[in-house]
Chains A and B, each alone.
Chain A
Amino acid sequence: MESLRVERLSKQFGGVWALNSITFSVEVGDRVAIIGPNGAGKTTLFNLINGQLSATSGSIYFFGKDVTAMPTHARAHLGQARAFQLISLFQKLTVMDNVLLTFHGATSSRFKMFRPVEHFTDVYDKTVQTLKTLGLWEKRNEPVSNLAHGEQRRLEIDLGLALEPRLLLLDEPSAGLTREEGLEIIGVIKNLGSNNTVLIVDHDMDLVFEVAQRIIVLHYGEIIADGTPDETESDQRVREIYMGLE
């Protein structure tokens, strides 16, 4: 079954085409990595899929539904989750509030105005459970900025996973992590069920080749290669312009 389909998608910033008529589709359960040099349009592509930016032209289908003009929050309710390139947790808020906010976003109780947050037991219990699983229960009342970088990254990705998204967008999950922390993330991604589709942007080739079944290579806003890791590695154009090899 098809999870995501992108058709002739383009995005123009001023006179620059950040993405130029991109077409690809992703099946449910796929682990797809998107790589390419800086400025190739990887993050722009994520922003379009997620709705943070609107497309200049082209369409995006999510489980057969045209979501091109849909706002980000509505796409979240369809089952998209995203971990940003730079950690986007609420730095000044406590660990607890961060988790509560993320989980409330997926429920209809998020708009309730008269009962205290703690009284919504389904969300609250899930929050407590998650914090205990992550070993962050002791630190629940500390601001997120007090956590180590690796802990923050881990928390953000695990929050994304705890929403049980149908499509998970990971923008450089291993950025700024130590080798061990990176391996931990790889483990988490590998353990995901076959209902989850994962799209990863990363510069860390170890992670990409470890996790991805398929690699899409972007270059100046166009797809120049799309195939299994082996095919990509042996592709002459990719070797020339991306990996810097003769």
Chain B
Amino acid sequence: MTAAPYLAIALILAIIPLFLSTYGQGLMTRFLIFALFAMSYNVVFGYAGLLSLGHAAFFGAGGYAVALLKLHAGVDLFWITAPLGLVVATLVAGLFGIIALRASGIYFLLVTFALGQMLYSLAWNVKWLNSKGMQGITGITLPDLGIPGLSLDTISFYYMVLICFIISFVLLYRLVRSPFGLALVGIREDESRMEAVGYNTWLYKYTAFVISGAFAGIAGILFAYYNFFVSPKHLGIATSFLPMVMAIMGGLGTFLGPVIGAAVYVFVETFASIFLPQRWPLILGGLFVLTIMFAREGIGVYLLRIWEKVSHRYGIAES
């Protein structure tokens, strides 16, 4: 890739929050977390072609690990909570992958859905997984980075999330450009041919599923800190839908699509809920329908096409 445009965007992301209110900074944080979540989902759905409806299980598992450490052990040192959250999310993905990948197509979708809902009801019913007298775990505070004299506030937490996002972005980008990533696309297009030319397709799908779950776990860990609260909802279907909607809206199977989808989702959600507090899902749903009808390949791809047309007409040299 030519790194220049990416560096420019990273720089913009680094500068913008300096001019925003605390509320705006929080919004940017939310956007980055969901962008990471959607990017992780894109690996299984967009690249490997596996339609999963249980991706929130790994997101929530990461979040719950952080929340439980705080609730039962009072630990909020980031260097303990984050690795543990990552391990928990990865283990859950490793287990669910073994079960779900025995099926394919619509059955895979149903199994992942059922497994996600299982965690949801587990979180709902087991006392140990809830704060006293409520559903979910509250009382999460911003993480302690263990650096003397530094306690996180909204903007420094934003930069922490931005760093996690950039690292994940680079890792995932390299993943989808590697022979492994190309093999996932091959499996999406024609699995039996892939086997005939020597790929153990199950192992590829499983590895992709687990890696994707791990990155969803990172998003979940950051989300728990951002939200100060996790609830069973974050493990179930309502949250599993989010990365799917974002990936489809932004452009499925394109690397930047889910990021754009997440941006659209988060900002439309915010503005719509300011103007129409009761009806904002309606606006979002309408936008989703419009995307499917008029920009089938995703808003991201659509914008790129327009940019190409504009730059072609005005003779702007393409990089």
> CB within 8 Å of B: which residues of A?
50-52, 71-74, 76-77, 81-82, 84, 88-93, 97, 100-102, 104-106, 109-117, 120, 123, 163
- Lowest 7 CB-CB distances: which A-B pairs, in order? A76-B198, A105-B198, A105-B197, A72-B195, A90-B189, A113-B180, A116-B177
Q: Determine the interface band of chain B, counting residues with CB < 8 A from chain A.
A: 20 to 34
CA distance A203 to B187 in the complex (A): 30
Q: Is the CB–CB distance between A101 and B197 below 8 Å?
A: yes
Q: Is the CB–CB distance between B200 and A88 below 8 Å?
A: no
- Give the chain B neighbours of A116 by CB distance below 8 A: 174, 177-178
- Give the chain B neighbours of A76 by CB distance below 8 A: 195-198
Q: Is the CB–CB distance between B198 and A110 below 8 Å?
A: yes
Q: Is the CB–CB distance between A100 and B182 below 8 Å?
A: yes
- Give the chain B neighbours of A93 by CB distance below 8 A: 185-186, 189
Tell me whether B69 is interfacial, beta carbon within 8 Å: no
Interface string of B188-221 (1 = CB under 8 A from A): 0110111111111100100000000000000000
Return the chain B residue nearest A115 by Cβ.
Answer: B178
CA distance A77 to B194 in the complex (A): 12
Contact partner of A90 (CB less than 8 A), chosen from B175, B179, B181, B193, is B193
CA distance A18 to B215 in the complex (A): 47
Q: Is the CB–CB distance between A163 and B196 below 8 Å?
A: no
Tell me whether B93 is interfacial, beta carbon within 8 Å: no
Tell me whether B183 is interfacial, beta carbon within 8 Å: yes
Q: Is the CB–CB distance between B179 and A109 below 8 Å?
A: yes
If A77-B198, A100-B182 touch, whether A115 touches B189 (CB-CB below 8 Å) is: no
Q: Is the CB–CB distance between A112 and B180 below 8 Å?
A: yes
Contact partner of B179 (CB less than 8 A), chosen from A52, A72, A84, A110, is A110
- Give the chain A neighbours of B180 by CB distance below 8 A: 110-113
Looking at B185, B198, B201, the one whose CB has the most chain A CB atoms below 10 A away is B198
Would you list 30 pairs from A and B whose C-beta atoms are within 8 A, ordered by A residue?
A50-B196, A51-B195, A52-B192, A52-B195, A52-B196, A71-B195, A72-B195, A76-B198, A84-B193, A88-B192, A88-B196, A90-B186, A90-B190, A93-B186, A97-B185, A100-B182, A101-B182, A101-B183, A102-B197, A104-B179, A104-B182, A105-B197, A105-B198, A105-B199, A111-B179, A112-B179, A113-B175, A113-B180, A115-B178, A116-B177
CA distance A77 to B186 in the complex (A): 18
Q: Is the CB–CB distance between B194 and A105 below 8 Å?
A: yes
CB of B298, distance to nearest CB on chain A (Å):
16
- Give the chain B neighbours of A92 by CB distance below 8 A: 189
CB of B188, distance to nearest CB on chain A (Å):
9
Return the chain A residue nearest B196 by Cβ.
Answer: A82
CA distance A52 to B204 in the complex (A): 18
Q: Is the CB–CB distance between A106 and B197 below 8 Å?
A: yes
Return the chain B residue nearest A97 by Cβ.
Answer: B182
CB of B156, distance to nearest CB on chain A (Å):
30
Looking at A71, A90, A93, A105, the one whose CB has the most chain B CB atoms below 10 A away is A105
New A-B pairs, 18, CB < 8 Å, besides A76-B195, A104-B179, A110-B180: A73-B198, A81-B197, A84-B196, A88-B193, A90-B190, A93-B186, A93-B189, A101-B194, A104-B183, A105-B197, A106-B197, A112-B179, A113-B178, A114-B175, A115-B174, A117-B181, A123-B179, A163-B197
- Give the chain B neighbours of A106 by CB distance below 8 A: 197-198
CB of B94, distance to nearest CB on chain A (Å):
17
Return the chain B residue nearest A82 by Cβ.
Answer: B196
Q: Is the CB–CB distance between A73 and B183 below 8 Å?
A: no
- Give the chain B neighbours of A82 by CB distance below 8 A: 196
CA distance A116 to B201 in the complex (A): 20
- Give the chain A neighbours of B190 by CB distance below 8 A: 88, 90
CA distance A90 to B177 in the complex (A): 17
Interface string of B105-145 (1 = CB under 8 A from A): 00000000000000000000000000000000000000000
CA distance A90 to B49 in the complex (A): 14
If A101-B183, A101-B186, A104-B183 touch, whether A112 touches B178 (CB-CB below 8 Å) is: yes
Return the chain A residue nearest B1 by Cβ.
Answer: A116
CB of A163, distance to nearest CB on chain B (Å):
7
- Give the chain A neighbours of B182 by CB distance below 8 A: 97, 100-101, 104, 117
